[in-house]
Amino acid sequence: MNAPKQRPLSFSLDDHDNLRLANLCGALDENLRQIEAAFDVAIARRGEHFTLRGEIEAMRRAEDAIRYFYGKSGEPIGVDTLQLGLIELVNQPVRRVSPQDTATVQLVTRKAELHGRTPRQGDYLKAIQEHDITFGIGPAGTGKTYLAVASAVDAFERELVERIVLTRPAVEAGERLGFLPGDLAQKVDPYLRPLYDALYDLMGFDRVGKLFEKGNIEIAPLAYMRGRTLNNAFIILDEAQNTTPEQMKMFLTRIGIGAKAVVTGDPSQVDLPKGQKSGLKEAAEVLKDVRGLAFVHFNREDVVRHPLVARIVTAYEAHTKAVETAQKAAQAAARNAHHGAGQHGPEGSEA
């Protein structure tokens, strides 16, 4: 059933300035198209007058977004500023919650304005600062890995830890590195590239290179963690849904004195062999009541990528639920049919 619609919503921007209006709308009204996509509305404009069509709440929030970005239109609004702002506004209408309310944790990185873009991201950053081991669990694009790396950089810059150790299962299924060309580093690098990218973004290419040389930053496949004890380090296990229960236990017992660990993963993207239980899923069950650990569960509302990514996640979730419902209905029908056949018994005999 479709959500209720109402007649178009019209409004005008007060004290409008043509230059600011141009910055708000973007080249060929591209910024308005982005706002349309984010809130699923249609926007028509004549000068400073706007007309919106769509669902009632969506139109109100789109109006809030237009007014919000007009307030920031003293200079051209770049695509990064626009899309990151939309991510915050999609789930936090300006009239009720200011996006700055999520900026409760300030991190020392090259990105001066880095903060949680959603309330749950803010909770994640707080949990990392307040706990020695934190699990970030949820779909792709929710900032689990990037914010964990940012927290690691922050801890290193504040001299709370002496080094940063980043690890993940080297290959999605079975760690069959022998099929890839090159030496071990070249085999492993493609799987660790997201961690490199986050470090370069937060610290700069040259500084990261120097810290690698000094051993202050280490990136390694999970298998290389066995037998080690990591003291005074910030350790991140990424793509943890692809660990086995044995690997997860091995990793968690590597934590040494003065160390902090963050485990990130998406339970919906397990690439282990069929029948193999995910170490992340088991850890979430086994450790949920252990004091001193924090679990932060993200959902599609926390996706911090192109606004369409949240819709893609939503569509896949709806499809998965529909398939599961259909399978359960088919199984129930099969059981009922079997039960009915058993009640009547073979033809010509008493049930």
CATH value at residue 261: 3.40.50.300
Residue bearing the bigger pLDDT, 262 or 198: 262
Q: Are residues 148 and 237 in the same domain?
A: yes
Q: Are residues 112 and 229 in the same domain?
A: yes
Among 79, 100, 121, the domain-final residue is 100
Has residue 105 got a pLDDT over 90?
Answer: no
Is residue 26 a contact partner of residue 32, using CB atoms and an 8 Å limit? yes
Is residue 109 a contact partner of residue 149, using CB atoms and an 8 Å limit? no
pTM over 0.75: no
pLDDT > 90: percent of the chain: 43
Q: Are residues 273 and 169 in the same domain?
A: yes
pLDDT-derived band at 1 (thresholds 50, 70, 90) equals very low
Is residue 117 a contact partner of residue 143, using CB atoms and an 8 Å limit? yes
Tens of pLDDT, residues 143-195: 899 999 999 999 999 999 999 999 988 654 444 555 555 555 566 667 778 88
Tens of pLDDT, residues 233-280: 999 999 999 999 999 999 999 999 999 999 999 998 888 888 889 999
pLDDT-derived band at 95 (thresholds 50, 70, 90) equals very low
Q: Are residues 179 and 269 in the same domain?
A: yes
Q: Are residues 93 and 235 in the same domain?
A: no
In a domain, 342, yes or no: no
Q: Are residues 182 and 76 in the same domain?
A: no
Q: Are residues 95 and 107 in the same domain?
A: no
Assign 3-class secondary structure to the chain.
CCCCECCCEEEECCCCCHHHHHHHHCHHHHHHHHHHHHHCCEEEEECCEEEEECEHHHHHHHHHHHHHHHCCCCCCCCHHHHHHHHHHHHHCCCCCCCHHHHCCCCCCCCCCCCCCCCHHHHHHHHHHHHCCEEEEECCCCCCHHHHHHHHHHHHHHCCCCCEEEEEECCCCCCCCHHHCCCCHHHHHHHHHHHHHHHHHHHHCHHHHHHHHHHCCEEEEEHHHHCCCCECCEEEEECCHHHCCHHHHHHHHCCECCCCEEEEEECHHHCCCCCCCCCHHHHHHHHCCCCCCEEEEECCHHHCCCCHHHHHHHHHHHHHHHHHHHHHHHHHHHHHHHHHHHHHHCCCCCCC
Average pLDDT (289-314) is: 80
Tokens representing residue 263 in the block: 């485990």
Q: Are residues 114 and 140 in the same domain?
A: yes
CATH value at residue 52: 3.30.1370.10
Q: Are residues 251 and 124 in the same domain?
A: yes
In a domain, 172, yes or no: yes
Q: State the Cα–Cα distance between residues 170 and 242, nearest whole angstrom.
A: 9
Question: From edge to edge, which strands make up the β-sheet containing 9-12?
Answer: 9-12, 49-53, 42-46
Among 100, 128, 155, the domain-final residue is 100
Q: Are residues 172 and 247 in the same domain?
A: yes
Mean pLDDT of the chain: 83
Residue 103 is predicted with a pLDDT of 46
In a domain, 132, yes or no: yes
Closest to 270 (Cα-Cα) out of 284, 280, 258:
280
Domain count for the chain, please give it: 2
Among 302, 319, 341, the domain-final residue is 302
Q: Are residues 141 and 191 in the same domain?
A: yes
In a domain, 351, yes or no: no
Q: Are residues 81 and 216 in the same domain?
A: no
Residue 112 is predicted with a pLDDT of 66
Residue 94 is predicted with a pLDDT of 44
In a domain, 140, yes or no: yes
Residues pairing with 221 in the sheet: 168
Tens of pLDDT, residues 32-43: 998 998 888 999
Whole domain around residue 290: which residue ranges? 103-302
